[in-house]
Structure 1
Amino acid sequence: MTEQTTSPSSVGVRYGLITGFISVIFSLVLYVTEMHQNKWMSVLSILILVAGIVMAHSYFKKENMGFMSYGQGLGIGVILSAVAGVLGSIFTFVYVKFIDTGFLEKARNAQIEEMEKNGMSDDQIEQAMNMAEKFSGPGMMLVMGIVGSVVIGLIISLIVAAIMKKSRPEFE
C-alpha cells in the first residue's frame, strides 16, 4: 500500500486560495457593475464555491490513488471555505472601508426602498434598520463573511464529500 501523497489540509489551502481569488475577482466585477444586490449573482458565487470544492476533491483523489474518505472530503471543503472566506472578507472590508466609502449608505438606502415597496410602516423600517446597523459595519462584515463562508462551505462539503468519497478497501 502506497502512502498518501497529498494531505487534505494542503489541498484545502491550495484550492481555497484559488477559489478565494476567483471569488474576489467576481465580487469586484459585481461591485463595479453594481450588480452585488442581484440575488442570482449570489447563487453564482455559491456555485464558484461548489466548483472549487469539487475540483479540490478531484485533485485529492487523483493524487491518492483514487481514494478519499468522507472525513477527508469534509475537511478539504471546510478548510477551502475558510481560506476563501478570509480572502473574500478581507477584500470586502478593504473595498467598503477604503475604496467605495459610500457603499454601506447605498446598501442601507436600497434596503429602505425595498422595505417601503413591501409595505412596511416607518416604525417597522426604523426598527429593522436599527437592528441591521449593528451588523453592517466593515468589521462586522469581515467577521460575518468568514463565518458565513465556513457555514455554507460546511453544508456544501457535507453533500459533495458524500457524493465524491471513495473509501480505500480495508484488506488491500
Structure 2
Amino acid sequence: MEQQELSLKPYAQNYGLIYGGYSILVLLLLYFFNYDQNTGISLLSFLINTAIVFIAIHRYKLDNANNLSLSSAIKLGLAIGAIGGLIYAVYMYIHYTYLQPEFITTLKEGLKTQVEAEIERQNLKGEEADTTREIATLFASPFFMATSALISILLKTLFISLVVGLIKKN
C-alpha cells in the first residue's frame, strides 16, 4: 500500500507568511533607519530567505515520513514565494505610494535625466522620444516595482527550492 503525500498547503501558508513578513520587516528597517540597500544587507537577506525555504522543505520532509520528491520541493518553494511575494508586493506598493512617495519622485527625476541624455545621444525625435519617456516613467512606478519584486521572489524561491530539493530528495 502506497503512502499518501502530505498537503503542501499548510507549509506554504505558514512559511509564505513568514517570508512575506520578513521581507516587509527588511523594507521597514531600511526605511526607518535610513539605510540604502547594499551588498551586505542583500546577502544577509538572501541567507535568511534561503533558511526560510530550507526549513519549510525540511519540516515537510520530516512530517511526510522522510519522503520528498524534487517536484514537491519546487512546488513548496514556489508556493512560499507566491504567498510571501504577494504579501510583500502589496505592502511595497502601499509603502512607495503613501509612506515613501519621495523615493518614487527621486527615482523618476534620476531616470528622466538618464533618459533625456540617452534621447539626445541617440538623436531621437518626436514619437520615438515620447515613447521612450513614457516607458521610462512606467519603470519608476510603485506598481512596476511591486510586480518586479514579486517576479524576483518567485525566481529566487524557485532557485532555492530546486537546490534544496536536489540536496534533500530521496
Scaled by the length of structure 1, the TM-score of the pair is 0.78
Distance in 1 (alpha carbons) for counterparts of 2:135 and 2:116: 14
**Uncovered stretches (5+) of structure 1, i.e. residues with no partner:** 116-120, 167-172
**Larger CA deviation: 147-156 vs 104-113:** 104-113
Deviation at residue 149 of structure 1 after TM alignment: 1.1
Q: 2:118 aligns with which of 113, 124, 127?
A: 124
**Uncovered stretches (5+) of structure 2, i.e. residues with no partner:** 121-128
Q: Is 1:161 matched up with 2:165?
A: yes
Whether the 8 Å CA contact 1:82–1:146 is kept in 2: the answer is yes
Deviation at residue 15 of structure 1 after TM alignment: 0.7
Superposed CA offset, 1:57-82 (max 9, x none): 11101111111111101110011011
Q: What residue is the counterpart of 1:23 in the other structure? A: 23
Distance in 1 (alpha carbons) for counterparts of 2:58 and 2:94: 33
Q: Secondary structure of the equivalent of 1:134?
A: helix
Deviation at residue 131 of structure 1 after TM alignment: 5.1
User: Which structure: greater helix fraction?
Assistant: 2
* Aligned positions of 1:50-89 closer than 5 A: 50-89=50-89
Deviation at residue 86 of structure 1 after TM alignment: 0.8
**Identity level (%):** 26
Distance in 2 (alpha carbons) for counterparts of 1:145 and 1:37: 14
Scaled by the length of structure 2, the TM-score of the pair is 0.79
Superposed CA RMSD = 2.8
Q: What residue is the counterpart of 1:118 in the other structure? A: none
Whether the 8 Å CA contact 1:5–1:63 is kept in 2: the answer is no
**Residue-pair matches, total:** 160
* Aligned positions of 1:88-127 closer than 5 A: 88-108=88-108, 123-124=117-118
